[in-house]
Chains A and B, each alone.
Chain A
Amino acid sequence: MWLWIHKLGSPPHFYRIAGLLTPWFGWSAGVLIAAGVVSGLFFAPPDYQQGDGFRILYVHAPSAWMSLFTYVVMAIAAAIGLIWRMKVAHAVAASCAPIGAAFTAAALFTGSVWGKKMWGTWWVWDARLTSELILLFLYLGYMALRSAYDDHQKADRASAILALVGVVNVPIIHYSVVWWNTLHQPASVTKLAAPSIDPSMLLPLILMFFGFNILFGALLLTRVRGEVLMRERNADWIRERVSQP
């Protein structure tokens, strides 16, 4: 087991394994998301209050979830990289940021479209919207710090500290904003005991949810492969790979 993890930490092995896994992740994400889109758009019944407008939920909720999940993955990878000085972990953290920022932007955009329909306004200074916006700023700050350094190793470690400071702060920011003001509807899916949503509406959401998670896996693997290639561009194993037909 440990040997396996050690092997995964070495860039050539990671590059090869990630290359093997990417198509599996990509295709299963594609199938799940396609199934989720079809069932969400055509088979789920319209909401009794919100009509067909609620269907944007199937993109909005998974993106919002992924925006947080990606941050946690980024912070864990940053911590691993900082503690065990694992090159690949830093590459993972670096690759998480743009993906997370994209999910956050998608959640904000779909949310504001939904808000326009339901609340009659594109943007309100509501708790969840605001904390999501701050999350976007945290991602942007992380990427800005990373790009400010010329030296890769320094950039890795400095931005890892920032990611960890951020992950400690995210709950604080979230609750401060919640106490400040709130209008957003309470989450209806995360209540584990009895979701207040009909099964026929829930199924597409679950499909989309898993689809988005696996899509994140596929995107991450692809990006990390790119990062590894760029970082190791002077290494022998890449030269060998390139020279092989």
Chain B
Amino acid sequence: MTPRTGMIRAATLLIERDLRLAFRRASQLCHPLVFFLVVTTLFPLSLSPQPSQLRDIAPGVLWVAALLSSLLALDALLKSDAEDGTLEQLVLSGQPVVVLVTAKTLAHWLVGGLPLVIISPLAAMSLGVAPDAMLVTAEGLLMGTLTLSFLGSVGAALTIGVRRSSVLLSLLVLPLAMPLLIFGARATDLAMAGEASSGPLYLLGALLAFTATLAPFAAAAAVRIGVE
């Protein structure tokens, strides 16, 4: 009898595979990033380039742009695997679906969410955010994008069997992501005013812990429904 692959091993293999697939299409990797930068550019153009006004809207703009661009990438989280039957094989592999879904979500965040966090100081700087607040924004986005990836995995799993699912996916995920937006923008806001921003950051962390522990179970149940 061949030795069985362990659960952790299966998860790391899956993450490796997803990362390799993503880097083979490196140009597509940049799309959410470019989208993020373009959206943040739109606001100075459409409102006014005055630094004082830009600083007022900066937290909101950064968070809305980050939310929209990670939403844009979510559609790819399970879609291609569901279409070519990989997802079915994963479910049949005998490994816990919860672990596999978590692995896929983490891989997706590594290529879709983490770059946003890294590039966010650039966008923040262009909107006139002070260096201290940039760091807080990046911290907030680090937790926020990961939470959003977990929330989004539920949405993506629910819309596996649906044609033209991207709009539906946004409709499902955005209302659930409102707390992220509120606390994230509040953290940046406080940091820009020179006040302690740890309160909203702790709340973001709590949301992350909550979502990361519960969302994979819902997503796994939805994947099972989607592939049957």
Contact = CB atoms under 8 A, between A and B. Distances in A.
B179 A176 contact: yes
A148 interface: yes
Nearest to A150: B161
A173 B178 contact: yes
B178 A177 contact: yes
A111 interface: no
Contacts of A145: 158-159, 162, 168, 172
A158 B174 CA distance: 18
A144 B168 contact: yes
Given A149-B161, A161-B158, A176-B182, A137 B174 contact: yes
A134 B162 contact: no
A177 B176 contact: no
B143 to A, nearest CB: 14
B214 A162 contact: no
Interface in A154-194: 154, 157-158, 161-162, 164-166, 168-169, 172-173, 176-177, 179-180
A154 B225 CA distance: 7
Contact of B179 (A82, A140, A162, A172): A172
Interface string A119-147: 00000000000000010011011001100
Contacts of B165: 148
Contacts of B182: 176-177, 179-180
B135 interface: no
Contact of B218 (A161, A176, A177): A161
Q: Which of B172, B214, B221 has the most CB of A within 10 A?
A: B172
Contacts of A134: 175, 178
Given A144-B171, A145-B172, A173-B179, A162 B161 contact: no
Q: Which of B158, B161, B203 has the most CB of A within 10 A?
A: B158
Contact of A173 (B159, B161, B175): B175
B222 interface: yes
B82 to A, nearest CB: 13
A183 to B, nearest CB: 16
Contact of A165 (B186, B207, B218): B218
Nearest to B170: A141
Contacts of A148: 159, 162, 165, 168
B63 interface: no
A169 B207 CA distance: 10
A138 B172 CA distance: 7
B101 interface: no
B154 interface: yes
Contacts of B215: 165
A165 B176 contact: yes
Contacts of B210: 172
Given A158-B225, A161-B154, A161-B225, A168 B159 contact: no
Nearest to A148: B162
Contacts of B172: 141, 144-145, 162
Contacts of A172: 179, 207, 210
A164 B158 CA distance: 12
Q: Which of A145, A154, A165 has the most CB of B within 10 A?
A: A165
Contact of A154 (B161, B168, B176): B161
Interface of B: 154, 158-159, 161-162, 165, 168, 171-172, 174-176, 178-179, 182-183, 186, 203, 207, 210, 214-215, 218, 221-222, 225-226, 228
Given A138-B176, A176-B179, 8 more contacts: A148-B159, A148-B162, A151-B161, A158-B161, A161-B154, A161-B218, A169-B176, A177-B178
Listed from nearest, the 8 A-B pairs whose CB atoms lie closest are: A176-B179, A137-B175, A148-B162, A141-B172, A141-B171, A157-B225, A180-B182, A176-B182
6 contacts: A82-B221, A141-B168, A149-B161, A161-B225, A165-B218, A172-B179
